[in-house]
Amino acid sequence: MDLVPALEEPLKKVLGPATAKVMAEHLGLHTVGDLLHHYPRRYEERGRLTHLADLPMDEHVTVVAQVADARLHTFASSRAPRGKGQRLEVTITDGSGRLQLVFFGAGVHKPHKELLPGTRAMFAGKVSVFNRRLQLAHPAYELLRGEGEEAVETWAGSLIPIYPATAKLESWKIGKALQTVLPSAQEAVDPLPESLREGRGLLPLPEALLKIHRPHTKADVEDARARLKWDEAFVLQVALARRRHADAQLPAVARRPKPDGLLAAFDDRLPFTLTEGQRKVSAEIFTDLATEHPMHRLLQGEVGSGKTMVALRAMLAVVDAGGQAAMLAPTEVLAQQHHRSVTEMMGELAEGGMLGGAEDATKVVLLTGSMGAAARRHALLDLATGEAGVVIGTHALIEDKVQFHDLGLVVVDEQHRFGVEQRDALRGKGKQPPHLLVMTATPIPRTVAMTVFGDLETSVLDQLPAGRSPIASHVVPAADKPHFLTRAWERVREEVDKGHQAYVVCPRIGDEEDDPKKSGKKKSAEDEAEKRPPLAVLDVAEQLARGPLRGLRVEVLHGRMPPDDKDAVMRRFAAGEADVLVATTVIEVGVNVPNATAMVIMDADRFGVSQLHQLRGRVGRGSAPGLCLLVTEMPEASAARQRLNAVASTLDGFELSRIDLEQRREGDVLGQAQSGTRSSLRMLAVIDDEDVIAEAREEAARVVAADPELTGLPALRTALDALLDEEREQYLEKG
């Protein structure tokens, strides 16, 4: 069944080519249906004015306010040397604050006539700062005239919808375009099964669309939102439920460890006991591995909660059962680190086929892109013959040349750094679909796990192993209090004097390729505010070695160094032959040096919340307490500073991931855009709507179990096809 043609009508036929082009390019809206699902961000009430006091910097805003005064100034400039330049300054107020509007040149005539004191209007523009005051330069505006003259059909009802807009298309123009297409809402096909809709007291879809765009009361808005949230949650969960259902039909080889094999020998060697959490999660994984359908499990655990140990035991169980296990790491530094720690933990059990290897031993092979040809040939041969039971590598593992004897388990470390295509290619290396274990140290709130990873079963490791120390975190406001920064370097020296080591992390490398002028990237408001490029590793290392850390052994590590050099630096630091490592975020994941107790993060405001939490997890890994100093030049009132205060105030990664998510929005849950600019969720907020998501997941599982092909629910199939356009369909397929 096709979507009702009225909603598939291209916007250029309905609104004209110019408006349609802007909508397509700037808002991603192509059809009448797309526009109907472009919901208002908020609503203005007549008579209630927006708070000018809360305007965000550098964003396009729409405000409703009253003109307080307007003054026309003349000035001399290069274009108008004889004092003929004109500037109109208009001050508007809403009771909570005042805002200046400026118009220049020929642009002053119309507003000078129209924006008289006492006039009320909607203004739209980009908030900037001039002379330390907020202003809108050349804003677009729409006068709000007396009730009699106002175009009733444009602002019907008492709530004015304010739409997510762009510089090229103000909110009220979007509102007028919606006025044109709104009658088509009557023909919207309702994806919710009738029994579900009536059972939950939800509005029919056409009514919800009318009420979201033209509400008469706040209750209208609430009813419409409740309904539209259910649509998104339910259709998305049906997509995920169908995928889980399809995965459960795939065959896989059951892998059960031998009672006295490699895994048992490894457990006997362990110098410590596993935590309760590690035992519980391992049991869940072993149950999955013993079934004849592929495991799809997400293992999330705090930095340092012992995920690698759990993953290694799963890999050894598969080797025990005659298969091979591959671990995919996002960077060479991390692959080498994993290889080192796995071979150390296994000892002679990792020396299969070698003198001194234990009888149950297997080979543990490393495969990265920068290996020499001979070593690489050797590694590939060990994989093809089955000699190597465990392989650890970067995306070099995915290349066509790599053949496995019998791939039984794929472990993906730091899920968020891998494209779906990469995981898919590795899964395709097995004779039958291998089991899949995805690990992440970025804690994921339950709702996000149900949405983004809704096709995976989830295990959580939430206790830290014995012997991990607390980490104290502090914000160092370098601009307001320079002596705090001086003290920070003194603290680093104190740690080194005690026999410990420290990291200093910077956002850039600092060689010329990295020059922000050349990268042509648009700067954010905060970058603009401080007008300086982020601090760079090479510059900072040199300044520290000459200045506050003179006499200490300072080394540098970044992603563009040759792999052998990187590995050599990491080995020297791990062996205690360097005191301070100045690095980029290459150390963010998996680097394990228990003797490193202090970390100073320069320009900490340039990093995301989860990234700061990950970086901080590199210290306090031994018995001595850790210290993390977040250095920033951002002013106290800025959002960036609040974000850093949040990181300093808690070590709870789940709490921080909520904060991070609230700031970034959810990203495209099904597609590859993982940050908030384009989201397939228009109404659903992953954090706030936990109940709706959980209920929709249960309903979806019921519907799919009863009718996997949705033959009895053609409207739901249609909605699913619309959600899973080509790209997302593939994304879900590959998972």
Is the confidence at residue 564, as pLDDT, over 90?
no
Is the confidence at residue 615, as pLDDT, over 90?
no
Q: What is the mean pLDDT of residues 360-369?
A: 89
pLDDT band at 681 (very low <50, low <70, confident <90, very high): low
Closest CA to 448 of 623, 658, 305: 658
Which of residues 354 and 571 earns the better pLDDT score? 571
pLDDT band at 512 (very low <50, low <70, confident <90, very high): low
pLDDT band at 218 (very low <50, low <70, confident <90, very high): confident
The CB-side HSE value for 703 (13 A sphere, CA atoms) comes to 29
pLDDT at position 148? 40
Instruction: Please state whether beta strands 42-45 and 159-162 pair in parallel, antiparallel, or not at all (unpaired).
Output: antiparallel
pLDDT at position 16? 85
Q: Give the separation between CA 309 and CA 154, rounded to whole angstroms.
A: 62
Q: Give the separation between CA 600 and CA 552, rounded to whole angstroms.
A: 15
Is the confidence at residue 714, as pLDDT, over 80?
yes
- Residue 246 tokens read as 């399809």
Q: What is the mean pLDDT of residues 697-704?
A: 91
pLDDT at position 682? 64
pLDDT band at 143 (very low <50, low <70, confident <90, very high): confident
pLDDT at position 617? 83
Segment of 97-111, 525-539, 545-559 carrying the highest mean pLDDT: 545-559
Q: Give the separation between CA 47 and CA 302, rounded to whole angstroms.
A: 49
Which of residues 146 and 508 earns the better pLDDT score? 508
pLDDT at position 212? 93
Using a 10 angstrom Cβ sphere, with 0-12 exposed, 13-18 middle and 19 or more buried, the burial of residue 716 is buried
Distance of CA 109 to the CA centre of its chain: 46
| Least-confidence region, from 151-160, 286-295, 341-350, 482-491 | 151-160
| Least-confidence region, from 154-158, 175-179, 296-300, 597-601 | 154-158
Question: Would you say 36 and 184 are in contact if contact means Cβ atoms under 8 Å apart?
Answer: yes
pLDDT band at 536 (very low <50, low <70, confident <90, very high): confident
Q: What is the mean pLDDT of residues 572-588?
A: 88
Question: Would you say 347 and 260 are in contact if contact means Cβ atoms under 8 Å apart?
Answer: no
Q: Give the separation between CA 20 and CA 562, rounded to whole angstroms.
A: 50
Count of other CB atoms within 10 angstroms of residue 666: 21
Is the confidence at residue 342, as pLDDT, over 70?
yes
250-273 pLDDT tens trace: 888 999 988 888 999 999 988 888
pLDDT at position 666? 41
Closest CA to 700 of 243, 250, 297: 243
Element (H, E) at 494: helix 482-497
Question: Would you say 617 and 594 are in contact if contact means Cβ atoms under 8 Å apart?
Answer: no
Is the confidence at residue 599, as pLDDT, over 70?
yes
pLDDT at position 364? 94
Partners of 159 in beta bridges? 45
In order, the DSSP letters of 681-712 are -SS--TTTTHHHHHHHHHHHHHHHHH-TT-TT
pLDDT at position 319? 94
33-73 pLDDT tens trace: 888 988 888 887 654 445 677 777 766 677 878 899 999 98
Is the confidence at residue 422, as pLDDT, over 80?
no
Q: What is the mean pLDDT of residues 341-354?
A: 83
Which amino acid is present at 465?
P
| Least-confidence region, from 49-53, 74-78, 408-412, 636-640 | 49-53
Q: Give the separation between CA 478 and CA 485, rounded to whole angstroms.
A: 6
Segment of 286-295, 346-355, 603-612 carrying the highest mean pLDDT: 286-295
pLDDT at position 86? 86
Count of other CB atoms within 10 angstroms of residue 262: 26
Is the confidence at residue 202, as pLDDT, over 80?
yes
Indicate the average pLDDT of the chain.
Answer: 80
- To the nearest whole percent, how much of the chain has pLDDT over 90? 29
pLDDT at position 668? 39
Is the confidence at residue 663, as pLDDT, over 80?
no
Is the confidence at residue 285, as pLDDT, over 90?
yes
Q: What is the mean pLDDT of residues 407-421?
A: 72
Is the confidence at residue 673, as pLDDT, over 50?
no
133 DSSP 8-state letter: E
Is the confidence at residue 355, as pLDDT, over 60?
no
Is the confidence at residue 620, as pLDDT, over 70?
yes
pLDDT band at 115 (very low <50, low <70, confident <90, very high): very high
pLDDT at position 720? 82
